[in-house]
Chain A
């Protein structure tokens, strides 16, 4: 009798749970599915077999942004194909050599990744010189004579040279061409992934290298010049690279716009290296290598909290409260908004929008007010309100482009994008990009710039773009130092 009663109670509980699960549980599950899957990813530590994505990363070197001026005086060719930043190397990643890779063109390969500021694979001429402890090369001059106008540290001679130009890549020794390499241009050509097939017997020694060293060199591509490195001349408005008109030109200036130069690993900076030529003794500039211990795996930078604390302390010491002085409707609404009275501010913003529908600042703040309202609403209204807020925020950003108010518009959109659930609206990447652009526009206020960069880094991390996160963190670190 008692066991029957227990069974009955169990059945009743079961029916109630099943009813709730079927009628409401699925709805709730899908609303929170992105959070659940994020949790699952973290809990199970999910990641794809490294052979699909180039093998385990051994090391990533970062190069300063905006240093694409060669020895400091070069200016880009005027040809319109040379997009600003196309030759600006940002990072260089070395992977472990991979074997027995599935679904790939080459089952044995070694991947190297380059990241540039802007797209322009047709305009770049990249040379990567590689040496290792178990290679026998003794080369300290460039692959093609009189091409780049540089030489290399004699303690670290190269054995293999990888030439990437015009969407084609080839591996050479000083004497021979070895093979073509597989190239992938990703992210509109900003990222170049190089896969060196190492099935050949002579290349198998890549697997056993304990230490490798790398010289990464980027010039402007010209099919008619030696080694594809466009000649540098002292003239303006020519399609080749040129020396800044105010600077002195000589034949020893390297025909290079950017080299890999990670300040954490190289003592001499790029300008010092590329200016180390000696006119009296006729010696070329000497470039320094980046040395990698292939048996050590990279530690991912995790200094966000530490950096944020530092920047917030710096921000506290600066009194940057903007005092709104005039008595216009707009100022009044902005003041109310900053005091947290968004509902009252929203009404005034609405009135202003009716009078002037193209006031980008008001549109931006009005969009934020709607998003704040969404935060206090039920799920159905929240989705509708967030979508509505973006019609104003997007319009504000569009109207503000190039104006002083651009930061305001971007900041509003970034903070809304950062706050709304990414699983539903997919706006985290928008937040990351907007914060980054705000940081670029706030270069006069370094502390604010660092803060915005950190916000951007965090947003990039949240949407899974780890490399962008790391690049920005490095940038903030260099700004703090």
Chain B
């Protein structure tokens, strides 16, 4: 209880600092801060079976409000969502994390960033995004996809629209994973060969809710059709039918890269093979398809490489066989419970699951603070204009 109060108080402090104070005590910032404090406190005190509900709410809000703010910004600056020649010529396109795997190899070879984005001094600049990515990777690994990705919320939301799963992709997990890595390799190599961010140019479905190249030429039109089809196919329809994050687990090159670099992060998910009874509840609930029938049968002890640490398997396991663990805990023997009263009070504070949630939520809070407030203002202004 004490540790939960400490965690909630600390988070309240972070929220007040980054959301309220940094936004000069604006009305919108107070509303958003109240929402965040409520969400985190509920998540912290909630029954372990219900915790991920709050993560989903947070990520969906983050994704939708991010897009509202982003599109609002674009209309303010350019009058449309289409990329203009002056934005290109001035290198002012916002840089997002999905471009990182595409620009890395060309940067190593040519020392140039093959994306016309601002280099530094802006929230969506190359340096700031790389900086955030490095910090996140070191601490939370692929947890980015389930906590801080400002696109992931779309799929997260749509995957919870339907009550019943219409398509079960469990048996295709491995193939989907293989396809993602093959596609990642293809994107990285073609980006290097072409010296252009190929995924951003042709495949990214989120152009529909952010910005896109003007469709005034045949290639522009083809790219336009592709991102519309991919958005409705992989971000809307497939998640509704399969209750999975299909774009994230099938196409996203950043997701594939984050899976490869996840090993260096502080946290991992552990499956206790002794407790596991093979009910496959975890595999059925995993939105990233990271637990296969084989994973459980062969008692691998952890999910597959694409695990995004969303925690759904942890809460769905009836045997409580799945838990968050420190990556460096291997070989340290079984964890002993605190012996003293003082230790018992503070023990939950250093539990990997609590620390992971706290860190991931902090990232989300800071990253979402300016976007969400801007969106709230846009919505308020629209309502005021309407009436």
Query: Chain B's nearest CB lies how many Å from the CB of A355?
Result: 27
Which chain A residues lie closer than 8 Å to B89 at the CB level?
A: 52-54, 184, 186, 193, 195
Which one of B154-162, B165-173, B329-337 contacts A?
B329-337
**A52 and B88 in contact, given A23-B358, A46-B127 (Cβ under 8 angstroms):** yes
User: What 0/1 readout, one digit per residue, does chain A (36-52) give for beta carbons within 8 Å of chain B?
Assistant: 11101100111111101
Which one of B116-124, B176-184, B253-261, B305-313 contacts A?
B116-124
- Judge whether A49 and B127 touch: CB under 8 Å: no
Which chain A residues lie closer than 8 Å to B24 at the CB level?
A: 387
In the assembled complex, B14 has its CB within 8 A of some CB on chain A: yes
In the assembled complex, A478 has its CB within 8 A of some CB on chain B: no
Which chain B residues lie closer than 8 Å to A102 at the CB level?
A: 114, 194-196, 201
In whole angstroms, what is the CA distance A373 to B359 when docked?
Answer: 32
In whole angstroms, what is the CA distance A307 to B307 when docked?
Answer: 57
Which residues of A, 403-452, contact B by the 8 Å Cβ criterion?
422-424
Of A21, A53, A380, the residue contacting B266 (CB under 8 A) is: A21
In the assembled complex, A73 has its CB within 8 A of some CB on chain B: no
Of A27, A29, A103, A193, the residue contacting B213 (CB under 8 A) is: A103
Of B17, B86, B119, B355, the residue contacting A379 (CB under 8 A) is: B17
- Judge whether B355 and A383 touch: CB under 8 Å: no
In whole angstroms, what is the CA distance A75 to B38 when docked?
Answer: 66
Of B119, B128, B194, B266, the residue contacting A18 (CB under 8 A) is: B266
Known: A18-B352, A46-B120. 19 other contacts (CB 8 A): A7-B333, A19-B349, A22-B358, A29-B135, A37-B125, A38-B120, A40-B120, A40-B130, A41-B126, A47-B112, A49-B112, A49-B195, A53-B90, A53-B116, A102-B114, A103-B116, A103-B196, A105-B85, A184-B85
In whole angstroms, what is the CA distance A104 to B17 when docked?
Answer: 42
- Judge whether A103 and B88 touch: CB under 8 Å: yes
- Judge whether A33 and B131 touch: CB under 8 Å: yes
Which chain B residues lie closer than 8 Å to A14 at the CB level?
A: 326, 328-329
In the assembled complex, A11 has its CB within 8 A of some CB on chain B: yes
User: What 0/1 readout, one digit per residue, does chain B (21-55) give for beta carbons within 8 Å of chain A?
Assistant: 11010000000000000000000000000000000
In whole angstroms, what is the CA distance A100 to B17 when docked?
Answer: 47
In the assembled complex, A235 has its CB within 8 A of some CB on chain B: no
In whole angstroms, what is the CA distance A22 to B333 when docked?
Answer: 23
- Judge whether A47 and B119 touch: CB under 8 Å: yes
In the assembled complex, B341 has its CB within 8 A of some CB on chain A: no
In the assembled complex, A25 has its CB within 8 A of some CB on chain B: yes
In whole angstroms, what is the CA distance A8 to B22 when docked?
Answer: 41
In whole angstroms, what is the CA distance A463 to B118 when docked?
Answer: 12
In whole angstroms, what is the CA distance A30 to B121 when docked?
Answer: 14
Which chain A residues lie closer than 8 Å to B266 at the CB level?
A: 18, 21-22
B: contact size bracket: 35 or more
Closest 8 pairs between A and B when the two form their complex, measured CB to CB: A52-B116, A37-B127, A102-B196, A22-B359, A22-B355, A41-B120, A49-B112, A11-B332
- Judge whether A464 and B121 touch: CB under 8 Å: yes
Q: What are 9 A-B contacts defined by CB distance under 8 Å?
A: A7-B331, A15-B326, A21-B359, A26-B366, A46-B119, A49-B195, A100-B195, A184-B89, A424-B22
Query: Chain A's nearest CB lies how many Å from the CB of B13?
Result: 8
- Judge whether B332 and A7 touch: CB under 8 Å: yes
Which chain A residues lie closer than 8 Å to B85 at the CB level?
A: 104-105, 182, 184
**A48 and B90 in contact, given A14-B328, A19-B350, A422-B121 (Cβ under 8 angstroms):** no
Which chain B residues lie closer than 8 Å to A103 at the CB level?
A: 83, 88, 116, 196, 201, 213
- Judge whether A11 and B120 touch: CB under 8 Å: no
In the assembled complex, A282 has its CB within 8 A of some CB on chain B: no
User: What 0/1 readout, one digit per residue, does chain B (328-363) give for beta carbons within 8 Å of chain A?
Assistant: 110111000000000000000110100110110011
In whole angstroms, what is the CA distance A422 to B121 when docked?
Answer: 8
A: contact size bracket: 35 or more
In the assembled complex, A34 has its CB within 8 A of some CB on chain B: yes
- Judge whether B128 and A34 touch: CB under 8 Å: yes
Query: Chain B's nearest CB lies how many Å from the CB of A467?
Result: 12
Query: Chain B's nearest CB lies how many Å from the CB of A117?
Result: 20
Query: Chain B's nearest CB lies how many Å from the CB of A427?
Result: 12
B91 (CB) vs chain A CBs: closest residue: A48
In the assembled complex, A4 has its CB within 8 A of some CB on chain B: yes
In the assembled complex, B264 has its CB within 8 A of some CB on chain A: no
Of A22, A48, A422, the residue contacting B115 (CB under 8 A) is: A48
In the assembled complex, A384 has its CB within 8 A of some CB on chain B: yes
Query: Chain A's nearest CB lies how many Å from the CB of B225?
Result: 18
Query: Chain B's nearest CB lies how many Å from the CB of A156?
Result: 29
In the assembled complex, A10 has its CB within 8 A of some CB on chain B: yes
A29 (CB) vs chain B CBs: closest residue: B135
Of A36, A50, A383, the residue contacting B22 (CB under 8 A) is: A383
Query: Chain B's nearest CB lies how many Å from the CB of A186?
Result: 6
- Judge whether B355 and A18 touch: CB under 8 Å: yes
B201 (CB) vs chain A CBs: closest residue: A103
Of A10, A38, A182, the residue contacting B127 (CB under 8 A) is: A38
- Judge whether B131 and A40 touch: CB under 8 Å: yes
**A380 and B17 in contact, given A22-B139, A46-B113 (Cβ under 8 angstroms):** yes
A26 (CB) vs chain B CBs: closest residue: B362
User: What 0/1 readout, one digit per residue, does chain B (5-16) give for beta carbons within 8 Å of chain A?
Assistant: 000001000101
In the assembled complex, B18 has its CB within 8 A of some CB on chain A: yes
In whole angstroms, what is the CA distance A23 to B139 when docked?
Answer: 11
**A48 and B117 in contact, given A11-B329, A26-B363, A186-B90 (Cβ under 8 angstroms):** yes
B358 (CB) vs chain A CBs: closest residue: A22
- Judge whether B112 and A50 touch: CB under 8 Å: yes
In the assembled complex, B294 has its CB within 8 A of some CB on chain A: no
**A11 and B113 in contact, given A26-B359, A48-B91 (Cβ under 8 angstroms):** no
